[in-house]
Chain A
Amino acid sequence: MSKLIADTTKLFAIAANVNDPEIPVLSIADLGILREVTLDDDGQVQVVITPTYSGCPAMDVITEDLHRVFEQAGYNKVDIKLVLTPAWSTDWMSEEGKKKLEEYGIAPPTGRGHAGRITLGMSVKCPRCHSLNTRELARFASTSCKALYTCKDCLEPFDYFKVLS
């Protein structure tokens, strides 16, 4: 493995230490926010990230955290670029991320999005008792990326990370 490739893998791993401030069990790599990390010839680290939703307030904190982790690893010149295209999709979330999300009590995105007003999607599984007998209470929840559900078996409300494809 050339030195450059080794460096890039290492740099990506450093950036992946940053977690989403609103879902602290997930790293930005798990979520698919972290797109690319490269090293310029003059030693400048280039990080490319993408927002989940246009108004997501977590992006500011993520940027600060990225500066912090690179500084701790000894890289002082870090350039962070926010790109919008191609737009983020829940398809980019890693399988490991989905597993962590469920353990944390948030139902991971399942299947495809709703089709018009006939909502033909896969059932959302309750992250607590794993029942499929659940109901959407509100499409909007604590953050833009989640919807509020309730489980009709264990009667607990829970967040569902909604599909954005």
Chain B
Amino acid sequence: MKHEELDAALDSFGDALASATRVTPGNALRPEDIAVDGVAPSDEVAQYALTLGDDALILAQRLAHWISRAPELEEDVAMGNIALDILGHARSFLTYAGLAWDKSEDDLAYWREEEEFTSLWIVEQPNGHFGVTIIRQLIVSIYQHLLYQKLATSQDETLAAIAAKAVKEVDYHRDHAIQWTIRLGQGTEESAQKMRHALEILWPYVDEMFRDEPVHQNLESIAVLPSSLRNAWQEEISAVLAEAGLEIPATGQAMAFGRRGEHSEHLGYLLAEMQVLARKHPGASW
């Protein structure tokens, strides 16, 4: 369905802003209300916010899948908490991006096709065994922690505000991943072997995280250049892996271009599950 048709369909429900995440139509607080003066971003800033929102949205969807499946109850709760925080970041970024195109966070989350998503390949990789999820969290949360620290000084006030909020939460996520990495790396022979396996699976997606694209290069002092995070990231993750008795694997790098809408085969399945309800019942709220 085209966006125009969707808008018309939503209007027919008597609420042009009908949202799947609102508790009471017309009353509840929407992230649209998250605003520093409510100024709509330029198209370029919106594109950048979209990349940040997409990374967070896809990772949150992946992590939420652990609820009821984690190795222990506390871990179910931890994964749920972390996924919820990250979903909160996604909602803020997507809402802000949507202001430029008159789209809601739900339009962007539920009504875009696979090739319109700009997320990194690492966040869409399947959860695998618990070690794979933990290594992905280690890689991504150290990255996001550095990214949001820098983004908090962005000249774009809304991006800076979202980042300043997010960095405090990602700090907990990072600590959680580090503690598990050390525990499993130094645990039994089997747990260490699974962590080595996880590193081999995920390391090919590391380079993509640090590739500068036009969306970053055209926004000096607003966007954070991914390449500028690489050294600090490498230093931090190397120290954690050393303490865990793990090594950086000698794998090649995948040809990953998520920022341009080219994705691995995994994203389509993830989106199908995430979007099915909203597409089957457009404008539904609960």
Contacts and interface: CB of A to CB of B under 8 A. Distances in A.
Interface string A48-86: 000101111101111110010000000000001111111
Chain B at the A interface: SS class: helix
A82 B33 contact: yes
Contacts of A142: 77
Interface residues of B, number: 39
A144 B92 contact: no
Contacts of B36: 83-85
Contacts of A84: 34, 36, 92, 161-162, 164-165
Contacts of A139: 78, 172, 175-176
B148 to A, nearest CB: 11
A137 B75 CA distance: 11
B29 interface: yes
Interface in B172-196: 172, 175-176, 178-179
B6 interface: no
Contact of B92 (A54, A67, A81, A117): A54
Interface residues of A, number: 35
B152 to A, nearest CB: 9
Nearest to B23: A60
B81 A54 contact: no
Interface string A124-151: 0000000000000111111110001000
A142 B76 CA distance: 11
Given A54-B88, A144-B84, A60 B175 contact: no
B166 interface: yes
B77 A140 contact: yes
A53 B29 contact: no
Nearest to B60: A55
A5 interface: no
Contacts of B92: 54, 84
A164 interface: yes
B34 A140 contact: no
Contacts of A35: none
Nearest to A116: B175
A83 B33 CA distance: 8
22 contacts: A54-B88, A54-B89, A54-B91, A54-B162, A55-B88, A55-B91, A60-B23, A60-B29, A80-B33, A81-B33, A82-B31, A83-B34, A84-B162, A85-B160, A87-B165, A139-B172, A140-B77, A140-B78, A140-B81, A142-B77, A143-B81, A144-B81
Interface of B: 22-24, 27-29, 31, 33-36, 74, 77-78, 80-82, 84-89, 91-92, 157, 160-162, 164-166, 168-169, 172, 175-176, 178-179
